[in-house]
Amino acid sequence: MVDILNALVAFTNFVIIPASAYGAQLAIGALGVTLIYGILRFSNFAHGETMAFGTMVVLLVTGLFQSWGISLGPLPTALLALPFGILGASALVLFTDRTVYKFYRRVKAAPVMLVIVSMGVMFMMNGIIRMIVGTDDRRFADGERFIIRARDFKEMTGLSEGLALRTTQVLTIVVAIATVALLFWFLNKTRTGKSMRAYSDNEDLALLSGINPERVVMITWLVVAALATVAGTLYGLDKSFKPFVYMQLLLPIFASAIVGGLGSPIGAIAGGFVIAFSEVTITYAFKKVVTYLGPEGWRPDGLVQLLSTDYKFAVSFAILIIVLLFKPTGLFKGKSV
Amino acid sequence: MTMSRTPIYFAIMACLIIGVGIFESWNNALFILNFGLISAIMALGVNLQWGYAGLFNVGVVGFVALGGLSVVLTSVSPVGEAWAAGGMRILISLLLAVGFIAGAIIGWSRIPKNLPRGLITAVWLIIGFFSFRALFDPAVAAIEAVNPAQTGFLGGLGLPVLLAWAVGGLMAAGVGWLIGKTALGLRSDYLAIATLGIGEIIIAVLKNEDWLSRGVKNVNGLPRPVPYEIDLQQSETFVGWMERLGADPVTGSTIFVKLLYAVLFLSVIILIVTLMQLALNSPWGRMMRAIRDNETAAEAMGKDVTARHLQIFVLGAAICGIAGAMMTTLDGQLTPASYQPLRFTFLVWVMVIVGGSGNNWGAVLGGMFIWFLWVEVEPISIFLVNTLTAGMDATHPIREGLLDRVAYLRPLTMGLILLLVLRFSPHGLLPEK
Amino acid sequence: MSFLSATNMTGGYGAGPDILHDLELSVDKGEIAVIVGPNGAGKSTGMKAVFGMLNLREGAVKLDGTDITGLSPQERVHKGMGFVPQVRNIFPTMSVRENLEMGAFIRDDDFEPTIEQVYELFPAVYEKRNQNAGELSGGQRQQVAVGRALMTQPKLLMLDEPTAGVSPIVMDELFDRIIEVAKTGISILMVEQNARQALEIADKGYVLVQGRNAYTDTGEALLADPEVRRTFLGG
């Protein structure tokens, strides 16, 4: 019995908690991709860099606050800096939209053209970020590191397996829930949010109804900048800030959005968790869990790991391919165009 | 108009490279030329897919890396001990994996629909996965234990290195076929994301499967299709030539070797461009362009658009694979960690767009020109910074800061060029006729 | 002078060839006008010209005495025109109620009474108000589409083949609803394939041939005209 509990704790500690946090980060990232797809109708390859840019501003402002001695006590100072990150990312995407994307909307360019354009934007943002902060790995999480320490948990429960709950993990979930609730309230209850959905649903009819497309596009960019900054900051707090990582996140984020159904916000959230849980479960070494569950005194030879963590991209990719083959519109019906 | 533009642009390109030769060094100039030629071939591959069929491949880096791997697999001598340790087991386990997957695909279509075929297939695949791992893992461990500092991998077949160029093409074509079969016929964004994923996976395999590629330990000292500088310097005939030219035999030998490579690469380019021009002016090529310009109409006329796209996607992937093999041959080593998507996927895209999508000469020109910029942006910027801050102290923070950041100008400039060309000259330097 | 009077309309799409030649359309207050004619006669094009979706080289469109020839479709909505496109005329992933709200997007005043009116006019819309419009049947969707256009409280409602692809029973139901709408004082201009049934409810009918007015009369008179019957109504 105790062994089963221990196995459960190990599984929670190494799979459920990290995957939930990662899933929330992916979900918020995928929401940004899916909103751009729904409103501007292209896959934005620069989304990873937008996340990196927003996070970079958060990181810099956090540093500034720390040097002034401002802090949030047990919570990371980065939370205070978050609004500034969102402002920075908003300014960046609005500037990009004005100078780059607007032209292609006007000439009604094919969506694939916009994808290539977004690749150029990605290149430039990449260069700008590196020019500002370089390529170093930076940690900017401060405050209390743990909510529950593994050692305390062991003492508390008397189990041999510890359960650690980091502040950033809980924070990720809380912020993610708040963000998603706010987003859905905005999309479903406000006039502006509804007009965005209307535009995404049927552009011509939205125009006929007097919805101003440029305003919808602008609001979308603002929302996307906020989502990207939140996702990037949560990821950076949970792990660390490395500019190149955000480009690598592009694949799992796209996979989440597509698996859920491109253009569908609910789908993006579901997709994020599907991808995160598959990735973490498949790359987790189950040795500990199996040892607890197996007969007394027996332990497996190997790590009991389905796939090495180096292949976590392969997991997103495999799920993506399976969905593309069997349900091309995604779990929640996305756009078929 | 375009007819007269082509030679002018190529002449300017030649002047740029000669300029490097005069102002920097001839070694540098030839370095730029050789890598430029290889980049041109990559651009030809992407141009085939994008310019002639509108297919959006974001996994170029993967195909290039496969070409690199082919050089190791073809030309390195086999490591007998490693083969004895687990070579056969690896081969059998891989065959087993392929067998299980093929079984799943056949089973999926054969199992009657009233049975839970999803479940059956899943169970079958899980059994397959574990049997594969049971055989594969110990074999890998055995191979990687064989003299890990020097080998620790299976090696290759010990065949002439030039053969690897063809093998690289074939390997890339094979993978291209697999992706194409899955993602073509779906939306264009899906192909892009599928290729992005496969690119990442190929790189991950190269980095982590030490038994195959030695992973991040790199494979050095790959065989060369041209003589070694050191041998030339010791050859009396060669030293004699150099004396007659009044050149230093050491510099002369490095330049001579690079020139030999350039000749090899040029012949490949000429071969590929000739074949492509012939193909594209044939009925097949005209049909391709008809499909690209109006897919719906072509489909209505009874053309199997997806099948045509598959052909062209596979061909384009093969060309990228060939280029990758050539590049690894020129490098003389396989360094899996060097395959960065920014450098090999996105940069190649800039080459195609800037050169002029749909025009083979444009792709060649774009490949060489953008490579030239990629290499020269840094020295030019350093020069500019130094000139602009000439009045400042060498350790002045602004000057130091600027110099520190010069390295990141590359992605910035490339992105800017891509955006400017797309916006103001979407047909590129040499537009499609 | 009629409430809507479009006179002398000549033009086509973009820089393309002329599709309409000296076309005239007019509708009086609370009247139902129907445009019928063979395929390719320019029926929908004529209506789109009234709505400003076409480049007119000549001619003028006047609504309630004001010249609106130079206005964009959006501006015409502000002036009191409502338009129901033939296809893609709803927001499929939004609820029926939200569809109506989007119809009222340009209004700053309280539009709840208008929603109530639409619910009264179309009981089916009321029943399905919380369902996504994309999940509705063809006839119900058309009702939602008409309801959406009514939300701006237009003085002229234009319908582009509202009964395309619906069953005869649903068609009758839709026509009944349209008569109801007209009774509230809204003028209706409608393009129809089902010429006979449409002319039966029409106060005025326009038969178009190759972008020109061929016959214009009351619906009743056109139905009685042997020449029109033989040529356009299949005997």
Q: Is residue B226 part of a domain?
A: yes
> Which of C79, C102, C150, C158 is the best mutation test for A, with the most CBs of A within 10 A?
C102
Residue after which a domain boundary falls, among B119, B154, B189: B154
Mean per-residue pLDDT, B270-278: 93
The answer to whether residue C189 scores a pLDDT higher than 90 is yes
Query: A287 or A170: which carries more pLDDT confidence?
Result: A170
> Which of A33, A116, A117 is the best mutation test for B, with the most CBs of B within 10 A?
A116
Chain segment C1-56, per-residue pLDDT in tens: 689 999 999 988 878 888 999 999 999 999 999 999 888 888 999 999 999 988 88
Q: What is the pLDDT of residue C62?
A: 93
One domain for residues B351 and B402: yes
Number of domains comprising chain B: 2
CA distance A337 to chain C (A): 14
Residue after which a domain boundary falls, among B135, B154, B173: B154
One domain for residues B63 and B85: no
One domain for residues B263 and B213: yes
Contact assignment for C88 to A204 by CB distance below 8 Å:
yes
One domain for residues B98 and B218: no
The answer to whether residue B432 scores a pLDDT higher than 70 is yes
Concatenated DSSP letters of A151-207: HHHHHHH--SS---EEHHHHHHHHHHHHHHHHHHHHHHHSHHHHHHHHHHH-HHHHH
Chain A CA closest to residue C72: A208
CA distance C148 to chain A (A): 9
What is the percent of chain C with per-residue pLDDT over 70, rounded to a whole number? Answer: 99
One domain for residues B270 and B127: no
One domain for residues B161 and B171: yes
CA distance A247 to chain B (A): 10
Q: What is the pLDDT of residue A82?
A: 96
Letter string b/e over residues B190-227, b meaning 16 or more CB atoms within 10 A of that residue's CB:
bbbbbbbbbbbbbbbbbbbbbbbbbbebebeebbbbbe
Contact assignment for A125 to B129 by CB distance below 8 Å:
no
Q: What is the pLDDT of residue B341?
A: 87
Chain segment A327-336, per-residue pLDDT in tens: 888 888 765 4
Q: What is the pLDDT of residue A30?
A: 97
CA atoms within 13 A on the CB side of B145: 9
From the list B404, B407, B423, the residue facing A103 with the nearest CB is B423
Under the banding of pLDDT at 50, 70 and 90, the label for residue B396 is confident
Q: What is the pLDDT of residue A328?
A: 81
Mean per-residue pLDDT, C224-230: 89
The answer to whether residue B244 scores a pLDDT higher than 50 is yes
Domain that holds residue A66: 2-326
Under the banding of pLDDT at 50, 70 and 90, the label for residue A337 is very low
Q: Is residue A331 part of a domain?
A: no
Chain segment C85-139, per-residue pLDDT in tens: 999 999 999 999 999 999 999 899 999 999 999 999 999 999 999 999 999 998 8
Q: Is residue A335 part of a domain?
A: no
Cα gap B255→B249, rounded to integer Å: 10
What is the percent of chain C with per-residue pLDDT over 90, rounded to a whole number? Answer: 72
Tokens of C90: 């709803």
How does the average pLDDT of chain C come out, rounded?
A: 91
Q: What is the pLDDT of residue B347?
A: 93
From the list A197, A204, A210, the residue facing C106 with the nearest CB is A210
Restricting to B residues 386-405, those with a Cβ less than 8 Å away from any Cβ of A are: 404-405
Cα gap B325→B321, rounded to integer Å: 6
Residue after which a domain boundary falls, among B154, B172, B189: B154
Under the banding of pLDDT at 50, 70 and 90, the label for residue B52 is confident
One domain for residues B284 and B414: yes
The answer to whether residue B1 scores a pLDDT higher than 50 is no
Mean per-residue pLDDT, B85-92: 91
Number of domains comprising chain A: 1
* H helix intervals, chain C: 43-51, 73-78, 96-103, 112-121, 123-127, 138-150, 168-183, 195-201, 219-224, 226-232
Q: Is residue A287 part of a domain?
A: yes
Domain that holds residue B148: 79-154
Q: Is residue B431 part of a domain?
A: no
Q: Among the listed ranges A152-166, A287-301, C1-15, C158-172, which one has the minimum average pLDDT value?
A: A287-301
Q: What is the pLDDT of residue A335?
A: 58
Let me know: does B332 contact B221? Beta carbons within 8 Å: yes
Q: Is residue A246 part of a domain?
A: yes
Strands (E), chain A: 146-148, 165-166
Domains within chain C, CATH numbers bracketed: 1-80+154-235 (3.40.50.300), 86-153 (no CATH)
Q: What are the beta bridge partners of residue B334?
A: B219
- CATH at B258: 1.10.3470
Mean per-residue pLDDT, B384-400: 80
Q: Is residue A337 part of a domain?
A: no
Cα gap C94→B71, rounded to integer Å: 56
Cα gap B279→B292, rounded to integer Å: 16
Contact assignment for A208 to C73 by CB distance below 8 Å:
yes
CA distance A192 to chain C (A): 10
Residues of A in contact with C77 (CB under 8 A): 208-210
CA distance B197 to chain A (A): 6
The answer to whether residue C232 scores a pLDDT higher than 50 is yes
Q: Is residue B130 part of a domain?
A: yes
One domain for residues B106 and B179: no
Residue owning tokens 């070409």: B67
Mean per-residue pLDDT, A194-222: 93
- CATH at A216: 1.10.3470
Under the banding of pLDDT at 50, 70 and 90, the label for residue B3 is low
Q: What is the pLDDT of residue B284?
A: 87
Letter string b/e over residues C130-145, b meaning 16 or more CB atoms within 10 A of that residue's CB:
eebbeebeebbbbbbb
Query: B239 or A84: which carries more pLDDT confidence?
Result: A84
For residue B190, the SS3 value is helix
The answer to whether residue B44 scores a pLDDT higher than 90 is yes
One domain for residues B208 and B278: yes
Q: What is the pLDDT of residue B159?
A: 93
One domain for residues B278 and B374: yes
Mean per-residue pLDDT, A195-201: 94
Q: What is the pLDDT of residue C118?
A: 95
Q: Is residue B430 part of a domain?
A: no
Under the banding of pLDDT at 50, 70 and 90, the label for residue C235 is low
Cα gap B342→A185, rounded to integer Å: 38
Q: What are the beta bridge partners of residue C81?
A: C156
The answer to whether residue B11 scores a pLDDT higher than 60 is yes
One domain for residues B414 and B387: yes
One domain for residues B150 and B255: no
Q: How many CB pairs under 8 A join A and B?
A: 128
Q: Is residue B433 part of a domain?
A: no
Q: What is the ipTM of this complex?
A: 0.91
Q: What is the pLDDT of residue B269?
A: 95
Mean per-residue pLDDT, B138-144: 92
